[in-house]
A and B are shown apart, each in its own frame.
Chain A
Amino acid sequence: MAGSRRATLRNALARFAAGAPTRVFVLEGIDAPDALDVLQLRPDITFVDTPRSATVLLVAGRLPEAMHEPARRAHDAMAEPRATIWWTLAPDDGAMLPFPDATVVPAQPNGSPAAIVTLARMLARTQAELLCAARPSEPALLADVDPAPWRGVGPYGQGGAGMTGGVPYGRPLAGRAPDRDGLELDQLPVRVGPFFAPFPAGLVLDITLQGDVVQEAIVPGNAFVASGGDGSPVRVTGDAFHAALSEPVRIADLERARARHHLRWLARMLRVHGLDALGHRTLALAASLADSLPRGALGDVGALRRLLERTRGLGWATAGVGVIDPRLVTGRGLGPVARAAGLSEDARIDDAAYDQLGFAPVVQEGAGERTRHAVGDARARWRQRLGEAMQSLELAARAGDRRTGGEGRPIEGVRGRSSDVTRDSPSAMLLALLPDLLLGQEWGDAVTTIVSLDIDVREAGRAPGAAPLSPPPAPQPSGGMDGMAGMAGMAAKGDHTEHDHATGQM
């Protein structure tokens, strides 16, 4: 009797709660549909930043082999009840998805609004069915193997019955290393994976943290590059910039796409800094630019810029963070990053069609000029992109039917110069800069730097020195238990103690 009454109460609560916005965690893969941000704008969907509290896992695009294991882990991290939905342009390629129970939703290449509404309703229905137990929750995908083999014997012969051999509960404790303050404190090595919400999709970093300061950041490879593949970058198909390499494209469309991209980037930047409402507003502006140029777009973006500059918050959060020496980015075609450092590099300068429109590149203050602010920091980069977005909207309004491209010349993409000749994409070059840039930065500043660089890991390909994603480093049993591990432990971690961390970074 009490059981059935409890069941009715639970069902009533479930029906009431099913009307809440669907909690979705997104895994972005190759060819993630562009309309993802339209989905994010819907009031009946909340994109959460950790799979723990999500109900539905939305896989957007295809996942390469190297990302299958992290994807399974993200799936298992979700709290029950949970379900997976796969939203892709190529639904027959089942090898590109590690989830056997996922519901497949084919995406339209041009993202019609009706299709988005259907997807949103399906997400909501999935959540409702899960809560009301009309649909079973998906079981865990990874094997239920406890990482703590009790009664284990350690690698140095210590331990045995009842001991864990220096590896308590299956994981070692953090090892020690000298800190630049002269203390010997612990370093936490962590591989921040491809599905970490603040990072760009697919970025993997092996970070060694001491306190909350990044001591070392390594890019262990590119998850989107298949092992055995040739490492060529994944090109985004259907992009106006890609089309402009081979045939003439309307300048209005090109500039509109550029403005849209910069606004989407700005929305990400705002979200990472805690401004969800302003990020939503920016994303709505970007979504309105998808097919045509609305009349008031320039005014709206201008109002947004005035608001951001008046409230100053984003300026405080980014001033002096992630400063890039202009000499590192000269002549490499790094687009907005270079222009934010004061270099006037833009492939559109040489274009006759842009010349007719009176184009002059937007550039922030450079190294030689008198300015209160640091040169080439994250603040310069967001102001640069916002300025470029406004300039693009203005050009798009005036361009009429003029066309550019298709002559074999490099064109200015959203991240830098791109051309037909396969060369290092801007993202690959920026990824190569990351380890030096992040050294010695506090975590929040490190994330600001990474987001401000606008890296697309999909187009990075096999950056020089990078490879397909290597497996994570095997955890060393901690040498901190000196009495037991002794010399052997120190030898195993010798590389830590030999590094000179006191390099005086401030």
Chain B
Amino acid sequence: MLALGGALTVFLAGTGAWLILRWVGDALSPPGTTAPERVPYTGGYAPASHAWSRFHARYYAMALLFLAFDMEMVFMYPWAVVFVAEGMKALVEMLMFIAILVLGILYAWRERALAWS
């Protein structure tokens, strides 16, 4: 409990430190920009539209595969702790579990979900 409390404190302190340094930068050189200085730089011309758009994330199929493997990770963490105590049986069970998921990778690979250009 204390450990995680310490971790949270470090996290918040880190965020605070970074923000304080940013504030120091602002104090040394206050930002007061004119409109042409704010234009996003693309090599010399103003952009034709906002960049925010429905960007086509072509790896969405791979993201689904990642979700499946993430769930496998959830099971592997506690398995790692009790593995030696449980013996060979635990190894074989986990192997079967992994084999099923590896079939998923194979399927994704054959369906060209991993290559998208």
The short answer to whether A and B are in direct contact, CB under 8 Å, is yes
A9 nearest CB neighbor, chain B only? B28
A-chain residues with CB within 8 Å of residue B51 when the two chains form the complex: 174, 188
Are the CB atoms of B50 and A193 closer together than 8 Å?
no
B51 nearest CB neighbor, chain A only? A188
Identify the stretch in A136-144, A244-252, A276-284 within 8 Å (CB) of chain B at 4 or more residues: A136-144
The verdict on B78 contacting chain A, using a C-beta distance below 8 Å, is no
Are the CB atoms of A193 and B117 closer together than 8 Å?
no
Chain A 163-187 interface 0/1 with B at a Cβ cutoff of 8 Å (1 = within): 0000011011111100101010111
A-chain residues with CB within 8 Å of residue B36 when the two chains form the complex: 73, 76, 140-145
B26-73 residues with Cβ-Cβ distance < 8 A to A are 28-29, 34-37, 39, 41-58
Are the CB atoms of B37 and A188 closer together than 8 Å?
no
B52 nearest CB neighbor, chain A only? A173
A-B residue pair count with CB separations less than 8 angstroms: 126
Nearest Cβ on chain A to B60's Cβ, whole angstroms: 10
The verdict on A46 contacting chain B, using a C-beta distance below 8 Å, is no
Complex Cα–Cα for A69 and B39 (A): 13
| Secondary structure dominating the interface of B | loop
A-chain residues with CB within 8 Å of residue B56 when the two chains form the complex: 179, 181, 183, 185-186, 210-211, 213
Are the CB atoms of A188 and B43 closer together than 8 Å?
no
Complex Cα–Cα for A194 and B42 (A): 9
A179 nearest CB neighbor, chain B only? B56
Complex Cα–Cα for A441 and B116 (A): 10
A-chain residues with CB within 8 Å of residue B46 when the two chains form the complex: 73, 147, 472
The verdict on A338 contacting chain B, using a C-beta distance below 8 Å, is no
A213-248 residues with Cβ-Cβ distance < 8 A to B are 213
B-chain residues with CB within 8 Å of residue A186 when the two chains form the complex: 53-56
A506 contact from B52, B53, B117, Cβ within 8 A: B117
Complex Cα–Cα for A179 and B39 (A): 28
Are the CB atoms of B34 and A193 closer together than 8 Å?
no
A174 contact from B42, B45, B53, Cβ within 8 A: B53
Are the CB atoms of B50 and A472 closer together than 8 Å?
no
B117 contact from A10, A175, A445, Cβ within 8 A: A445
A-chain residues with CB within 8 Å of residue B117 when the two chains form the complex: 213, 440-442, 445, 506
Known: A140-B34, A145-B35, A211-B55. A196 touches B42 (CB 8 A): yes
A-chain residues with CB within 8 Å of residue B45 when the two chains form the complex: 69-70, 73, 191, 193, 472
Known: A143-B36, A147-B35, A211-B55. A70 touches B49 (CB 8 A): no
Nearest Cβ on chain B to A481's Cβ, whole angstroms: 13
A-chain residues with CB within 8 Å of residue B58 when the two chains form the complex: 181, 211, 213
A141-169 residues with Cβ-Cβ distance < 8 A to B are 141-147, 168-169
The verdict on A100 contacting chain B, using a C-beta distance below 8 Å, is no
Known: A69-B44, A185-B56, A194-B44. A172 touches B50 (CB 8 A): yes
The verdict on A91 contacting chain B, using a C-beta distance below 8 Å, is no
A213 nearest CB neighbor, chain B only? B117
Are the CB atoms of A475 and B49 closer together than 8 Å?
yes
Chain A 370-394 interface 0/1 with B at a Cβ cutoff of 8 Å (1 = within): 0000000000000000000000000
The verdict on A473 contacting chain B, using a C-beta distance below 8 Å, is yes
A-chain residues with CB within 8 Å of residue B50 when the two chains form the complex: 168-169, 171-174
Nearest Cβ on chain B to A263's Cβ, whole angstroms: 26
B-chain residues with CB within 8 Å of residue A210 when the two chains form the complex: 56
Chain A 452-470 interface 0/1 with B at a Cβ cutoff of 8 Å (1 = within): 0000000000000000000
A-chain residues with CB within 8 Å of residue B37 when the two chains form the complex: 76-77, 140
Are the CB atoms of B44 and A188 closer together than 8 Å?
no
B29 nearest CB neighbor, chain A only? A80
Complex Cα–Cα for A344 and B117 (A): 32
A478 nearest CB neighbor, chain B only? B49
B-chain residues with CB within 8 Å of residue A194 when the two chains form the complex: 43-44
Complex Cα–Cα for A13 and B29 (A): 13
Nearest Cβ on chain A to B17's Cβ, whole angstroms: 19
B-chain residues with CB within 8 Å of residue A492 when the two chains form the complex: none
B-chain residues with CB within 8 Å of residue A195 when the two chains form the complex: 43-44
The verdict on A438 contacting chain B, using a C-beta distance below 8 Å, is no
The verdict on A95 contacting chain B, using a C-beta distance below 8 Å, is no
Are the CB atoms of A193 and B29 closer together than 8 Å?
no
Complex Cα–Cα for A25 and B104 (A): 49
Are the CB atoms of B35 and A146 closer together than 8 Å?
yes
A-chain residues with CB within 8 Å of residue B28 when the two chains form the complex: 10, 13
B-chain residues with CB within 8 Å of residue A475 when the two chains form the complex: 48-49
The verdict on A52 contacting chain B, using a C-beta distance below 8 Å, is yes
A-chain residues with CB within 8 Å of residue B43 when the two chains form the complex: 70, 74, 191-196, 199, 204
Nearest Cβ on chain A to B115's Cβ, whole angstroms: 9
B-chain residues with CB within 8 Å of residue A183 when the two chains form the complex: 56
The verdict on A190 contacting chain B, using a C-beta distance below 8 Å, is yes
Task: List 6 A–B pairs whose Cβ atoms lie within 8 Å, in order of A's numbering.
Answer: A77-B41, A145-B36, A146-B35, A171-B48, A196-B44, A442-B117
Given A140-B36, A174-B51, A176-B54, 16 other A-B residues pairs in contact with their CB atoms under 8 A:
A67-B44, A70-B43, A70-B45, A74-B41, A74-B43, A74-B44, A142-B36, A172-B50, A181-B58, A185-B53, A190-B42, A191-B48, A192-B42, A196-B43, A199-B43, A475-B48
Chain A residues packing against B (C-beta within 8 Å): 10, 13, 50-52, 67, 69-71, 73-74, 76-77, 80, 140-147, 168-169, 171-176, 179, 181, 183, 185-196, 199, 204, 210-211, 213, 440-442, 445, 472-473, 475, 478, 506
